[in-house]
Structure 1
Amino acid sequence: MIRSSVSNCPVPTEQQPLNEYEQLRTSWLFSDCALNWRQHITKMLMLWSFSWIIAGPVAAASFPPHKQIGQFLLCGAAGASIGVILLLVRLYLGWYYVSDRLTSRAVFYEESGWYDGQTWIKPEEILNRDRLIATYEIKPILRRLQLTFAGLAGMFVAGSIVWHLL
């Protein structure tokens, strides 16, 4: 973990925004957000494919594949997308939380429990460093997640149009 350059920082090490960023960046779930577009889309498609294990039988119960193949495929695809959406929401909220803590001048922290919270005002040098990290490291990740959401929304709209044409 990266230590703050200010030795009088009262925030516990694990609650310092820079250390929260480092922890998120190196975790197995959140580190995938920093991959290139191709790898990111491949991971999302793998999750979507894996979600068909649950979505396929549910869709088949509603729309028998041998009778209503179009509805079965659209319903299964939409159902499988739920896993992707839940993952994207989790990733977005985690990165957004850390970005908010990095860009905020005041940092709320807990000394030993929920009942004794304090607020620390970042010195200017720490604030500038943290804002640079948020701008150049986290903002592109949030943008990628937003574009992935937009792509999914576009596919849902296209699927709805196709559904009404069937």
Structure 2
Amino acid sequence: MRDVSVSVCPVPPEQRPVNEYQELQESWFFSWVTLEWHRYLKKLAWVWAWSWLVWGPVAAASFPPQKAIVPFLVSGGAGASLMVLLVVIRLYLGWFYVRSRLTSASICYEESGWYDGQTWEKTPEILAQDRLILSYQVEPLLKRLRRTLYGLGLLLLVDGLVWMCL
């Protein structure tokens, strides 16, 4: 990405939407969604598996695995899925924030603290650049996250239906 000169853009570099996008893209956590589909799902599967360290004992306290294996698995799986849901929601909110900054024709920024907020109107060139990044880079990621949320919702719905049948 080209860096906008200070003479054109008074916004501090760390608060410019393009730089916020690049920061998210390079972040350990937020870059998960930029991975290939199977690697992305593998990361979420790891979160789900590690969540069993918390939800397994909780489910075992309610449903001893020796006596009620199906309720134990259903409740532990639902709890672990809720942890994955929280992770995906956090990913979505981070990328959605960058989306809103790239979409906006003006940028609210702070020069030195919360008390001196300013607003800068983007030039047509910068607005076009930001909207291209939005269209070709950020929107596909948000689409992937929405599909993940729909899948998790479906998984939790099936889990609830299995629970009702027990």
Bin the TM-score by the shorter chain. Answer: over 0.9
Give yes or no for the alignment of 1:131 onto 2:152. Answer: no
Written as runs of structure 1 = structure 2, the 5 A alignment for 1:1-166 is 2-4=2-4, 7-166=7-166
Hey, what's the Cα distance between the residues in 2 that align with 1:87 and 1:4? 33
- Tell me if the contact between 1:109 and 1:119 (Cα under 8 Å) persists in the aligned partners: yes
The separation in 2 between residues aligned to 1:5 and 1:134, in whole angstroms, is: 21
Task: Return the alpha-carbon distance in structure 2 between the equivalents of residues 8 and 128 of structure 1.
Answer: 15
> Aligned letter for 1:155?
L
Provide, for residues 49-81 of structure 1, a one-character-per-residue CA deviation record: whole Å limited to 9, x for no partner. 011011000000011111111110010001111
Shift of 1:6: 6.7
TM-score normalised according to structure 2 size: 0.96
- For residues 130-150 of structure 1, the C-alpha deviation after alignment (integer angstroms, 9 at most, x for no partner) is 001011100010111111110
CA contact (8 A) 1:2 1:19 kept: no
State how far apart, in whole Å, the 2-side matches of 1:153 and 1:23 are: 29
Question: What's the TM-score, normalizing by structure 1?
Answer: 0.96
Gap regions ≥5 residues in structure 1: none
SS in 1 for 2:4: coil
Code of the aligned partner of 2:144: R
Aligned to 1:115, what secondary structure does the other structure show? helix
After the TM superposition, list the runs of 4 or more consecutive aligned residues in structure 1 that deviate by more than 2 angstroms.
Answer: 5-8
Q: What is the RMSD computed on CA atoms of the aligned residues?
A: 1.2
Identity rate, percent: 54
CA distance in 2, matches of 1:5, 1:135: 24
For 2:88, the aligned partner's letter is: L
Per-residue deviation, 1:8: 2.2
Aligned equivalents of 1:142, 1:163: Cα separation in 2:
31
CA contact (8 A) 1:108 1:117 kept: yes
1:7 Cα deviation after fit? 3.3
Q: Which moved more, 1:89-98 or 1:77-86?
A: 77-86
Q: Deviations over 1:70-121 (max 9, x none)?
A: 1100100011112211111111011000011011101000011111100000
Post-superposition Cα deviations, 1:3-61, rounded to whole Å, max 9, x if no partner, equal: 11573211001001101111110011111111111111111011100110110000000
1-structure distance, mates of 2:124, 2:147: 33
